[in-house]
Amino acid sequence: MTDTAAPDETRRLIEELRERRLTVAVAESLTGGLLVAELIRIPGASHAVRGGVVAYATDLKSTLLGVDARLLATRGPVDPDVAGQMASGVRDRLGREQPADWGLSTTGVAGPGAQDGHEAGTVFIGLASDGTVSSHRLQLHGDRDAVRQQTVAAAIRLLLDAVLATPSVEA
C-alpha cells in the first residue's frame, strides 16, 4: 500500500459526491487536517466538501463534535465508538439546514510511541450517514508521517466505497 491516496481515488470520490449532489464533513484528530486538505486539493471540491474540524485535543472531541465525555474519560480518544461519534457529530455540526450527507473521522495513534495502551499505528476511521454509523480499525506500520498518510488514503477509499455502494437518487 502506498503512503498517500492515489490521486485518481480522491478525484473519483469528489466527482461521485458532486454527481450525486452529496456532501461530506470531516473530523480529524491524528491526521490534523491532512484529510480535508487532500479532498479540497481537487478542483470543484467546494460543491461536495462542507469543511473540516481538527479536534486534536481530547476535550475538543466532546465540546466541538459532541462525543460523549464519559466515553472519552473511560476509554480515551482511540476507540471505535469515539470515531463513530466524531463522524456523526461533524456531520450534524457542519450541515446547513440539515446534516451533511456523510461524516468522516480519523482518530488514533500516529506514534512514535504508544498512547493510552494503544500501539503506534492503531487507527479508527468513523463513517456516518443517514441512520448509519460505523467505525473501521486499522493497524498501520511506518513512522508518524507514514501512519498519517496511510490513514488519509484509507479514509478516502472507505468513503468512496460507501458512496459507490449507495444507490444514486435521481434529482
pTM: 0.94
pLDDT tens, N- to C-terminus, the chain (171 residues) = 344 567 799 999 999 999 999 999 999 999 999 999 999 999 999 999 999 999 999 999 999 999 999 999 999 999 999 999 999 999 999 987 889 999 999 999 999 999 989 999 999 999 999 989 999 999 999 999 999 999 999 999 999 999 999 987 654
Listed residue (68, 92, 93, 95) closest to 82, CA to CA: 68
Q: Are strands 49-54 and 102-108 parallel, antiparallel or unpaired?
A: unpaired
Provide φ and ψ at 168, rounded to 5°.
-70, 145
Please tell me the class of the 7-164 domain. Answer: alpha beta
How much is the pLDDT for 170? 59
Burial code (b: 16+ CB inside 10 Å, e: under 16) for 85-107 equals: bbbbbbbbbbeeeebbbbbbbbb
Q: Helix crossing, 7-19 with 144-165: angle to 10°?
A: 30
